[in-house]
Amino acid sequence: MKKTFTILHTNDLHSSFIGMGPAADYTPFTLNDDATRGGYARLAALIGKRKAARRDQGPVLVLDAGDYSMGTPFGAASREIGSELQIMALMSYDATTFGNHEFDLGPDGLGKSIGVAAKAGRVPAILAANTNFTKQDTTLVDLQRLAKDGVISPYLVIERDGIRFGLFGVLGKEAIFYTSGGAVSFSDGIEVAKEMVKVLRETEKVDVVICLSHGGVEKAKDGTITDGDDVRLPKAVPGIDIVIGGHSHTELHEPIIVNGRTPVVQAGKESSNLGELVIALDGGKLTVESYRLHPIDDTIAGDRAIADEIEKLKKSVTESVFASRGYSIDQPLALTPQDLPNTFTNIGAGTILANLVTDALRNATKADIGFTANGMMRAPLMRGKTGVLTVYDVFAVAPLGAGVVDATAGSALVTGYFTGLELKNLLEFFLVDNPAHPGEYFPRVSGVRFRYDLSRQKFDVVTAIELGDLDRGYCAIDINGKDERLYSLTCPLMLGTILVGIPKYTKGKLPLVPKNKAGQPLASRVEALDDPRHSTAQLIAPPGTVDKASVAKGVGKDAAREIKEWQAIMDHLRGLPAKNPGELPFIPVDERAAEVRAIKAG
């Protein structure tokens, strides 16, 4: 007898509680008046609407494929308020799994966040079949207790309207590489999936096996998507009936059908879409009846109960994340007259935002050079209707990472000293592009400009480096190794972990040693990490691997606090002049603001 069921799904929500647009514009209860995509009030309303519409056609499951946290101030406060899981439970999610970013604040931070939600009685099933936290380690105590209590489990069986569903969750191989798991270990996802299918089929006698896979898909050179961990998994484990995927932030408008039967789906990122997969089950055979992505936008009137819950959380977010640095989540910071995109593939379009960020880093530590890469700027600054940018908006540009000196969320700024030749080697590494992720590693600088010629041999494309700025003028420095003078460079810790590994990644072709002001090498073990260039994911230094002497700290009463990347950007914005007395600081977008600091030959 033919039966039908529906799966509503998301992935990579990244704490997008009020969407990813100017926070001042977001109006979830009025239609057609803002350009914000995502937001949980609207997502909740659509989940409710689609569940009601599909209920008469069979059971409905609401599932998520991980990275439900990190990306906004709400994620930064997850240890204290556990809000992601609580709101997901209120939105009627049946289950989720771990993504790599769930571990951004360490396994102890993850345990705390789940514990808060579990204590409140608001938590969907968390399925983590290849995540192991059995090791005797103090950072795993909370996760071990939650597993013992059944809050975290390898799999889940749901019987609904006469269909028995078996669900399990896995973290993909590529995502594992970018997971700050500490004492947590991860088993091979494919081998674990084989075990899960066997248990679910033979012991639990389920009708349908669903995998929540935070593994990702990959786009081929011809633009087709036929590979990635989310695809390799069902190829290797044909007993999986459905894969709800995540990690690569891909909007799949049609399912990828593996082995002629298993659909792989993914809904983008940041609650911008709700996926709806309708499956027919007839005598053990599954077929896709329909599939679509529903945009979450201002054509949807939001759920007031969810919006009220989010509003209550804001005070706790401010206390946990911003209060120590004098900020609050809804605080207006500056005005922008236009959108400031972070487009990786259009270097020119992203230059104003890149210059703003690197100027902020240099200003915060008074280093010679501020340095970042395109992919480190995680969100644009959008003008919206009024041009007002709040703390919520600016934090999204630099949202990830954990404390080194103090526990507040956010990537610390780190400073090292380099010779002119080492600066050249550093730029050479970041100028090697990856066609699969074009522009992500492109270097962005302040306090310096450089010239490069891509027709030259690999690792020798930089032809000149000049120290200075438009106000002081520029002066060429030696890049041939004849001058041992040191120049200070500040960058986010997450980029610093890549930077120190350059000699290893290039097999010694690009030597450099980060030093302190006295010229002594900084103590760090992160050079043992592999080259991360092949991925869009973020690399976060494992605990205990950062030389604390390199971490930038405040002065006076703030001497015990590190300077956060987001803090540096906000402080810089507040220091900009206003156009008129009494107004917010105004972000310049003139020729000076768009100065080209990476000068390409030809």
Q: Which amino acid is at 27?
A: T
Lowest mean pLDDT among 95-109, 168-182, 192-206, 432-446: 432-446
Q: What is the mean pLDDT of residues 183-204?
A: 97
Beta carbons within 10 angstroms of residue 571's beta carbon: 18
DSSP H or E run through 233: helix 229-236
Residue tagged 């810790």 (tokens): 493
pLDDT in tens, 94-106: 999 999 999 988 8
Interhelix angle 189-198/229-236, rounded to 10 degrees, is: 50
Task: Return d(Cα 25, Cα 390) in angstroms, integer.
Answer: 11
Residue from 408, 541, 309 nearest 80 by CA: 408
Dmax over CA atoms of the chain, in Å, equals 81
Q: What are φ and ψ of residue 98, in 5° steps?
A: -85, 135
Task: Return d(Cα 526, Cα 497) in angstroms, integer.
Answer: 6
Q: Please indicate whether residue 224 or residue 63 has the higher confidence score (pLDDT).
A: 63
Lowest mean pLDDT among 185-194, 491-500, 572-581: 491-500
Beta carbons within 10 angstroms of residue 360's beta carbon: 27
Task: Return d(Cα 558, Cα 304) in angstroms, integer.
Answer: 40
Q: Tokens representing 460?
A: 């020798």
Q: Which amino acid is at 111?
A: G
Average pLDDT, the chain: 91
Instruction: Inform me whether the pLDDT recorded for 487 exceeds 70.
Output: yes
DSSP state of 496: H
Task: Return d(Cα 126, Cα 120) in angstroms, integer.
Answer: 15
pLDDT in tens, 141-154: 999 999 999 999 99
Q: Is the pTM of this model over 0.85?
A: yes
Q: Tokens representing 266?
A: 């993914």
Residues in CB range of 102: below 8 A, 6 or more apart: 66, 67, 68, 69, 70, 110
Task: Sketch out the chain's domains with CATH numbers.
Answer: 2-307 (3.60.21.10), 331-600 (3.90.780.10)
Size of the chain in residues: 602
Compute CA distances 543 → 67, 499, 527, 547, whole Å.
20, 17, 14, 11
Strands (E), 221-300: 225-227, 242-245, 256-258, 262-265, 273-282, 285-295
Burial class of 555 by CB neighbour count within 10 A (0 to 12, 13 to 18, 19+): exposed
Q: Tokens representing 271?
A: 């609650």
